[in-house]
């Protein structure tokens, strides 16, 4: 028996109205049930949204530093529970334990950061063009915010959305991926234990296609934040058209690493292996393309193939494991299908290429770290997000060609360059068309104190996380206040 995971609204853990349940299982061993979960329907969403609406006014009027104190408490509780939560992330999602702990650490970082924002949340004060008049802007919450989150960062991504929403004074309904419901519930439990008032945070479990969509278009929801696949994001976008509510979407990536002929190849290799096969390639920032200068192409490819073949597949709780499973059968089938597509398109399978079922991997969804070489930019495997442990290697003849190849896909989340030449890295920094650019580091591992957001098809242009232009912009709206204390009619632009 796994965890008993229920919905949470109005401060109470509650079974779904239907009384029905579903299970989450361990991707490293699908016989192991991690949680039995309430299967919600529309009436559960109605109840959660109503609870959030009831709580809104009071929460919005609670001074932001006081809201921050509750978030500080939640951050401290998450810190105390980090080890257990990290293990839960590994069991339910599959990533190796150091990454499970990192997932939780990212949630903790976000909680502390946003808690501190409770004492900033600044607007502007500027001079008026008229005497005896002042002008300022303030931030106000939207109201009830719907948060729809994926399974690949099952505590970090809900935290990216929950903490800024809450510090801005919104109340929320979270609909986490039905693949990782226990992780989301543990995060909400930390908030509840920190003393967040009833109704401020609400949680419903169920499939995105039904429960998530119904929540997003619910008439009493004021803003929607989504992270997930492009297909789901685009569908939500079309459903929301005409509803005039702010919609933030973080979607796919097809991130490239450029390896120039003057790079430290050992360092570049580590970065490519980490970016391509960390989290089994299931990050939207994963390195799925490596564009290598022709002068070192063959040497680097050989290093990469050897490196990929050396990685040890296994359950994420096993300390020897380098690469865990992919999250479920559907993802496994999808990734294996892309590998077949790559072969059919004429790319060369240089490493991996299949499911792995040896020893402790027999009952899990394991895919060998896979390297394709001889990939051309027009191939599907070169353009579409695979979201698994598959990396495509390309050849370029110079920096400019490499940058053009990196920019040639519809996505623009993250990119990286390995080079020792300061001019090359400066050009790449300027010319790569993506929301994140890494110099002599892999495409993954963004920190929470700067915005995180994709360009082009990777996102709606509302970055997550901290810093100028980050999440606080989305989770609050600006009100401008002009106060005239002259006691007479003054006409801007005219007097």
Distance CA 118, CA 107 (A): 17
Site for ligand UN1 (CB under 6 A): which residue of 8, 153, 163, 274?
Answer: 153
Q: Which residues contact 433 (CB under 8 A, 6 or more apart)?
A: 407, 412, 455, 456
Cβ-proximal residues to 404 (8 Å cutoff; 6+ apart), any chain: none
In contact, 290 and 392? CB cutoff 8 Å: yes
Please say which residue, 92 or 106, places its beta carbon nearer to ligand UN1: 106
Q: Measured from the CB of residue 485, what is the shortest distance to ligand UN1 in angstroms?
A: 48
The values of phi and psi at residue 413, to 5°, are -90, -60
Residues 95-134 binding ligand UN1 (CB under 6 A) are: 106
* Pure H helices in 3-63: 42-61
CA 14 – CA 135 distance, rounded (Å)? 47
| 361 closest CA partner among 30, 23, 87 | 30
Residue 421, both tokens: 């030449």
Distances (CA, A) of 419 to 255, 292, 412, 416, 422: 17, 11, 21, 10, 8
**Under rule CB under 6 A, how many of the chain's residues touch ligand UN1?**
9
Toward ligand UN1, which CB reaches closer, 207 or 445?
Answer: 445
Residue 83 appears among annotated catalytic residues: no
Binding of ligand UN1 by 446 (CB under 6 A): yes
What is the distance between the terminal CA atoms of the chain, rounded to a whole angstrom?
75
> Which among 230, 284, 361, 392 is annotated as catalytic?
284
Those residues whose C-beta lies under 8 Å from the C-beta of residue 489, and which sit 6 or more positions away, are: none
Site string for ligand UN1, 423-442 (x = CB under 6 A): --------------------
The residue annotated as part of the active site, out of 250, 385, 464, 473, is: 250
- Respond yes or no: is residue 250 known to be catalytic: yes
Is 179 a binder of ligand UN1 (CB under 6 A)?
Answer: no
Query: Which residues pair with residue 23 across a beta bridge?
Result: 36
Choose the stretch contacting ligand UN1; rule: CB under 6 A; options: 12-20, 186-194, 283-291, 370-378: 283-291
- Distance CA(342)–CA(327), nearest Å, equals 21
Q: How far is the CB of 282 from ligand UN1 (least distance, A)?
A: 8
445 binds ligand UN1, rule: CB under 6 A: yes
Nearer to ligand UN1, 168 or 448 (CB): 448
Piece of the chain touching ligand UN1 by CB under 6 A; list 22-30, 139-147, 203-211, 279-287: 279-287
Residues 365-424 that bind ligand UN1 (CB under 6 A): none
| Contact window for ligand UN1 (CB under 6 A) among 9-17, 190-198, 278-286, 340-348 | 278-286
CB of 333 to ligand UN1, least distance (A): 21
Whole-angstrom Cα distance, residue 124 to residue 134? 11
Q: Pick the binder of ligand UN1 from 152, 331, 373, 457 (CB under 6 A).
A: 152
Q: Which of 107, 284, 339, 361 binds ligand UN1 (CB under 6 A)?
A: 284
Beta-bridged to residue 13, according to DSSP, are 8
Q: Which residues bind ligand UN1 (CB under 6 A)?
A: 106, 152-153, 283-285, 444-446
Residues designated catalytic: 250, 284
């Amino acid at each position: 028996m796994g965890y008993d995971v229920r919905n949470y609204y109005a401060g109470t853990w509650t079974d779904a109205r239907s009384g029905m349940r579903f299970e989450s299982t361990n991707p490293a061993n699908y016989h192991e049930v991690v949680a039995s979960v309430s299967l919600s329907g529309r009436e559960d969403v109605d109840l959660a949204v109503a609870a959030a609406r009831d709580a809104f006014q009071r929460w919005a009027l609670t001074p932001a530093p006081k809201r921050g104190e509750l978030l500080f408490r939640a951050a401290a509780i998450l810190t105390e529970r980090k080890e257990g939560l990290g293990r839960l992330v590994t069991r339910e999602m599959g990533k190796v334990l150091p990454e499970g702990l990192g997932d939780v650490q990212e949630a903790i970082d976000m909680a502390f950061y946003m808690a501190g924002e409770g004492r900033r949340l600044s607007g502007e004060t500027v001079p008026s063009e008229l005497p005896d008049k002042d002008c300022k802007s303030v931030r106000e919450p939207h109201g009830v915010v719907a948060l729809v989150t994926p399974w690949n960062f099952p505590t970090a991504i809900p935290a990216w959305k929950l903490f800024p929403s809450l510090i801005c004074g919104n109340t929320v309904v979270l609909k986490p991926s039905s693949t990782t419901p226990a992780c989301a519930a543990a995060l909400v439990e930390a908030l509840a234990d920190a003393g967040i008032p009833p109704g401020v945070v609400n949680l419903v479990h169920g499939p995105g296609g039904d429960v998530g969509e119904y929540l997003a278009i619910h008439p009493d929801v004021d803003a929607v934040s989504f992270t997930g696949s492009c297909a789901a994001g685009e569908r939500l976008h079309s459903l929301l058209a005409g509803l005039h509510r702010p919609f933030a979407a973080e979607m796919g990536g097809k991130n490239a690493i450029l390896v120039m002929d003057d790079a430290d190849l050992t360092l570049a290799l580590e970065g490519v292996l980490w970016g391509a096969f960390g989290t089994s390639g299931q990050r939207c920032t994963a390195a799925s393309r490596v564009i290598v200068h022709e002068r070192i192409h063959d040497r680097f490819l050989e290093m990469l193939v050897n490196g990929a073949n050396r990685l040890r597949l296994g359950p994420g709780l096993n300390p020897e494991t380098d690469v865990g499973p992919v999250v479920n059968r559907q993802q496994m089938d999808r990734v294996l299908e892309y590998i077949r597509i790559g072969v059919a398109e004429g790319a060369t399978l240089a490493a991996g290429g299949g499911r792995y079922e040896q020893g402790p991997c027999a009952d899990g969804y394991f895919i060998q770290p896979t390297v394709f070489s001889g990939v051309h930019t027009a191939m599907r495997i070169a353009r579409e997000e695979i979201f698994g442990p598959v990396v495509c290697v390309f050849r370029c003849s110079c920096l400019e060609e490499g940058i053009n190849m990196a920019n040639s896909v519809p996505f623009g989340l993250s990119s990286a360059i390995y080079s020792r030449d300061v001019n090359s890295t400066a050009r790449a920094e300027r010319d790569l068309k993506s929301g994140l650019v890494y110099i002599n580091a892999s495409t993954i591992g963004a920190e929470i104190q700067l915005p995180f957001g994709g360009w082009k098809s990777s996102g709606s242009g509302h970055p997550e996380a901290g810093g100028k232009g980050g999440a606080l912009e989305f989770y609050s709206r600006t009100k401008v206040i002009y106060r005239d204390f002259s006691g007479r009619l003054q006409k801007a632009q005219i007097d």
